[in-house]
Chains A and B, each alone.
Chain A
Amino acid sequence: MADDPFVLGGTAFSSRLIMGTGGAPSLEVLERALVASGTELTTVAMRRVDPGVRGSVLSVLDRLGIRVLPNTAGCFTAGEAVLTARLAREALGTSLVKLEVIADERTLLPDPVELLDAAETLVDDGFTVLPYTNDDPVLARRLEDVGCAAVMPLGSPIGSGLGIRNPHNFQLIVERARVPVILDAGAGTASDVALAMELGCAGVMLASAVTRARDPERMAHAMRAGVEAGRLARLAGRIPRRYLAEASSPAEGLAVLDPERPAF
């Protein structure tokens, strides 16, 4: 959708789908899925990949011309996250960072206090910060206030595939935000991402829903179509919900199909 670019941290993308690489069964399957998704931006866990060594997922992204979005997955404190982000910037030469500060291993929910601290530090340090956050409208606003370039609320816990559990919170976040709102975590299937876009998200970030699907390439295609469908529906504007039916075919001026019976 060339006339509807997705601007993130000053860069315009034509795809609104940000992919992750975790959980892919093989590099080859990952590559086919990335191509099918049409993504232009893909996140990589800096703690799990050594950017100094070519030969892994980074060379796949490089070959496909996909921009790398380093993330701080696996960090539990603001201190670790800031350190990881700085190492990533040094290694990859990008100031983009997807900021994750996890509170607890069972739920992988963000730690809001550490997250806000880390976001503030990294913004001051010149980073373009994209924080993975709870679906809390107040926290989303605070993250925006400290200078984050987007907010990335979770639909449901990472890898759960439970979709958007609180669509109302998403509406509240989208309504107030002056930065892009990106669904991050929880997408399970194409209708989940379509809903996110219909609710006004500017983009969707997902990994497991594709990489752990039986056929990752096909699911990536489905997600791409879901994002586009949801975005178009949002821009087109849905019809108001009505209590009773309203016929879609006009009742006036119908052709007379049966000459024996006059039309009204």
Chain B
Amino acid sequence: MSSRTSDVLVIGGGIIGLVTAWRAAQRGLATAVVDPAPGGGAARVAAGMLAAVTELHYGEQTLLGLNLASARRYPDFAAELTGLTGQDLGYRRCGTLAVALDADDRAHLRELHALQQQSGLESEWLSGRECRRLEPMLAPGVRGGLRVDGDHQIDPRRLAAALVTACERTGVVFHRDWAERLEVVRGRAAGVVTRAGAALGAGQVVLAGGSLSGRLAGVPDDVLPPVRPVKGQVLRLTVPARYAPFLSRTVRAVVRGGNVYLVPRENGELVVGATSEELGWDTTVTAGGVYELLRDAHELVPGITELPLTETRAGLRPGSPDNAPLLGPTRLDGLLLATGHYRNGVLLTPVTGDVMAQLLTGGELPEEARPFTPRRFGTVLVEQTA
């Protein structure tokens, strides 16, 4: 290995890799990140809903625990990051309103409400008229909704930019290149070789490559994380000042079985998402994707047709077999995972940074993260073509 070694080398400079590097460096570890463009990844596309309660699904109660743990950390996490970097993260404690537009969607939302109550979560059932008093731009046909004051939002692009700054201020070294291959020496992960041919050695290697985590060369087959790309198309509209505030909180709905959400930022950006497509590495924005999002969003908030459409983009969520992240040591000594965060990467950023740093310094995965050990998957479940 070359002389360019560190205690910790993080592969991937998306929000998960960055928060891991930042927290590790804060604890005194010499930390490096290898990524051609730190601050990129799925966070460039994500809407940034911190939706532990409205994203609850049957059979995912374990994940709920981690989501809630991370949501609780958010106020302090955001304050610390802003304090260090002086950057506004667009963290907005505005709450969420999930509404139903017809009887079928209403029944679905009622079921979600019951599940939330069984799980001890705070949410309040509102009539259609009550929903529209809160958000007058909602379609008159709204049949009812759930007010969840604890599901907030953050701007993931600003979060990523602030994490890059935080890493720089804390002494994290950035290698702006692709990690080409993991180096394994005597049965232990020892670093990576970059595309440009640089050898980067490290005491511990953290693979935080998002949807790309499953295709790093040199990782033994039985260690390769079962992570697959799940495409999401997302639109960005702008609310002109004369229409403000337009929406005062995140509004979401299931429209005939499909999920749509509108996330209003304080700066006037309105994010509309998202499709969910199993199409491999494709990140094409399609007419159908844009059409469906606008159709459903229009049904929910008819006034959106007046707004400028400023951006269309597709990103790749890192999906795991059970939709929960992979956190912790692998069967290969020296290689740790922080990946597979799927729909909840932005929400899980604070808790991921904390548990990974604890693991990197103390060698033990904290109690709250143990259900998410990569070892829960017996064998490699997913193969990725290069």
Contact = CB atoms under 8 A, between A and B. Distances in A.
Given A56-B228, A105-B256, A25 B57 contact: yes
Given A49-B278, A106-B256, A55 B383 contact: yes
B384 interface: yes
Contact of B280 (A26, A28, A53, A214): A53
B363 interface: no
Nearest to B211: A55
A48 interface: yes
Contact of A53 (B319, B322, B323, B385): B385
B307 interface: no
B187 interface: no
B321 A55 contact: no
Nearest to B321: A28
Contacts of B257: 23, 159
A28 B228 CA distance: 13
A207 B312 CA distance: 32
Nearest to A158: B257
B282 A55 contact: no
Contacts of B57: 25
Interface residues of B, number: 24
A23 to B, nearest CB: 8
B321 A27 contact: yes
Interface string A237-255: 0000000000000000000
Contacts of B277: 48
Interface string A24-61: 01111101000000000000000011101111110100
Given A55-B229, A55-B280, A56-B278, A28 B322 contact: yes
A206 to B, nearest CB: 16
Nearest to A29: B59
B206 to A, nearest CB: 22
Nearest to B115: A214
Interface in B243-301: 256-257, 277-282
Given A26-B322, A27-B319, A54 B58 contact: no
B228 A25 contact: no
Contacts of A56: 228, 278, 280
B60 A53 contact: no
Contacts of A49: 278-279
Nearest to B57: A25
A50 B279 CA distance: 5
Contacts of B280: 50, 52-53, 55-56
A29 to B, nearest CB: 6
B215 to A, nearest CB: 9
Nearest to B322: A28
Contact of A25 (B323, B383, B385): B323
Contacts of A52: 280
Interface in B344-360: none
Interface string A50-76: 101111110100010000000000000
A49 B282 CA distance: 11
A214 B257 CA distance: 16
Interface string B224-235: 000011000000
Nearest to A63: B381
A125 to B, nearest CB: 25
A238 to B, nearest CB: 35
Contacts of A106: 256
What interface size band does chain A fall in?
20 to 34
A62 to B, nearest CB: 9
Contacts of A53: 279-281, 385
A254 B198 CA distance: 95
Contacts of A26: 59-60, 321-323
Given A25-B57, A55-B228, A106-B256, A31 B278 contact: no
Contacts of B385: 53-55
B17 interface: no
B48 interface: no
Given A25-B59, A26-B323, A55-B228, A50 B382 contact: no
Interface string B55-82: 0011110000000000000000000000
B102 to A, nearest CB: 10
B299 to A, nearest CB: 12
Interface string A178-218: 00000000000000000000000000000000000011000
Nearest to B280: A53
Interface in A83-135: 105-106
B325 interface: no
A215 B60 CA distance: 11
Nearest to A58: B278
A56 B58 CA distance: 21
Interface string A9-29: 000000000000001011111
Given A26-B322, A27-B321, A31-B321, A48 B60 contact: no
B214 interface: yes
B214 A25 contact: no
Given A31-B321, A48-B278, A55-B280, 6 more contacts: A50-B279, A54-B382, A54-B383, A55-B382, A55-B384, A214-B58
29 contacts: A25-B60, A25-B323, A26-B60, A26-B321, A26-B322, A27-B228, A27-B321, A27-B322, A28-B321, A28-B323, A29-B322, A31-B321, A48-B278, A49-B279, A50-B279, A53-B279, A53-B280, A54-B382, A54-B383, A55-B214, A55-B228, A55-B382, A56-B228, A57-B278, A63-B381, A105-B256, A159-B257, A214-B58, A214-B59
Interface of A: 23, 25-29, 31, 48-50, 52-57, 59, 63, 105-106, 159, 214-215
List the 8 closest A-B pairs by CB distance, nearest first.
A53-B280, A55-B228, A28-B321, A56-B278, A28-B322, A26-B323, A50-B280, A50-B279
